[in-house]
Amino acid sequence: VQADGTDGNCVTFVLHDEDHTLGNSLRYMVMKNPDVEFCGYCITHPSESKINFRIQTRGALPAIEPFRKGLNDLMGVCQHVLNTFE
């Protein structure tokens, strides 16, 4: 993961070797946070396997916090689905 941005509450994370599967799921989990003002992603080009994932928060909350929380929450949901399936 590579993070670009001059302001700590508005950052674009570059996720390599990822696609819509992670992008849309993670966007959903991050947007559940009430401190997040904007969250979106785009795939730079169909032949490249990376996404630009942008988070903008309200106030002084750094964007890395809802990004980490979204990843952890998504892992929890995936683990629950796997346990239920098994």
Sequence spans of domains, the chain: 10-85
Q: 6 pLDDT exceeds 70?
A: no
Q: 51 pLDDT exceeds 80?
A: yes
CATH architecture of the domain with residue range 10-85: 2-Layer Sandwich (3.30)
CA distance linking residue 45 with residue 53, whole number of Å = 14
pTM for the model: 0.86
Q: Name the band, by pLDDT with cuts 50, 70 and 90, for residue 60.
A: confident
Q: 41 pLDDT exceeds 60?
A: yes
Residues 85/41, Cβ–Cβ less than 8 Å: no
Q: 7 pLDDT exceeds 90?
A: no
Instruction: Write out the DSSP string of 49-60.
Output: -EEEEEEEESTT
**So what's the pLDDT on residue 16?**
93
